[in-house]
Every structure is written in C-alpha cells, then in structure tokens.
Amino acid sequence: MSSKTATDAMQRLNALRGLLEEGEISTQEELVEALRSRQFLVTQSTISRDLSRLGAVKARDTSGRIVYRLPEELTPAPGATTDLKGLLVNVEHNGSLIIIHTTPGSASLVAHQLDKSKPEGILGTIAGDDTIFVAPRSLKSIEETIQAIMAEFT
C-alpha cells in the first residue's frame, strides 16, 4: 500500500469514527452518503470492512433506534449507572453452549459487558442481534457459569 493510499485510508477511518461518535447513523448506506459528502470515494463494501476494523457494532440509542457505535461508546462513563438486566430475555444451555436471548439489538452490548467483566467460567462470546453464544470453560460447571451470568445482570 502506498503512503498516499495509507494516508487516505487513515483519513477515511478518522472521518468514519467521527460519524459514528455522533451516533446518528443506522445503515451502511447512510455512512456511504455521509463520507461521499466529505469527498471520500467509498463503496458499501469499503464501509463494511472499515466498520469491522473499528470494531463498530449496532446498538440501541436512548430513543430505541438502532445505530452504529464504537466499542468505547458502549462502556458507561465512570459513575454512570447502567441497568442492563432488562436486556436479558432468557438464558439456557444445551449441554455444550450457553445461549442468551436479549431484546432486539442488545446482544452486542450484553456480550461486551460479559467480555469486559469476565464472569467465572466463560471462555468467550459471539453476539448477533438478539442472541449470544457463550462458550463455557467447563461443561461440568455450566450451571454455575449460568448463575454467574445471571448475577452479572441482576
């Protein structure tokens, strides 16, 4: 990659980060339009790759709209109270995986909290829109892991 191309990519990523920090955009098409209005020649696939590079996720804003957010925006400010317990619909397992169902659009936020707090017994999480797959550290203690997850959100 030439230094001009690398510089262009960095400028585009910085502009994209700025748009995401505003918290108003909910589709990749809107991001394409916003960046094009700032003189960046981008496609939807470029935006998709850039969102992945930045670790952006879709989350609900305070009005209930789903918008793109950066991971650091999902972490509450020190002293802020965050009530995530209302986001869990149910938690169950099949003997191998723990499945967490959340309200629509909340799985990334809940998984981020689990990854950050690391309750006992969790190897990792994968989040979709309203479902999280949790890989337990031990199948023998899967019930204890579920209790640790539940305790995190009560």
Structural domains of the chain sorted by starting position, each given as residue range(s) with its CATH number in brackets? 3-74 (1.10.10.10), 85-152 (3.30.1360.40)
At residue 73, what is the residue type?
E
Q: In which band, very low, low, confident or very high, does the pLDDT at 144 lie, cut at 50, 70 and 90?
A: very high
Within a 10 A sphere around the Cβ of 142, how many other Cβ atoms?
19
CA distances from 23 to 31, 39, 110, 133 (A): 11, 21, 19, 27
122-131 contacts: CB < 8 A, separation 24 or more?
A: 122/148, 122/149, 127/57, 129/58, 129/104, 129/105, 130/89, 130/101, 130/102, 130/103, 130/104, 130/105, 130/106, 131/99, 131/100, 131/101, 131/102, 131/107
Provide the pLDDT for residue 77: 42
Q: In which band, very low, low, confident or very high, does the pLDDT at 2 lie, cut at 50, 70 and 90?
A: very low
Pairwise pLDDT comparison (69 vs 105), residue with the higher score: 69
Provide the pLDDT for residue 95: 92
Per-residue pLDDT tens for 72-91? 655 444 433 345 667 788 99
The SS3 of residue 14 is: helix
Length of the chain counted residue by residue: 154
Running DSSP on this structure, what letter comes out for residue 118? Answer: -
Cα–chain-centroid distance for residue 138? Answer: 25
Per-residue pLDDT tens for 31-76? 999 999 999 999 999 898 888 887 788 877 777 788 888 776 554 4
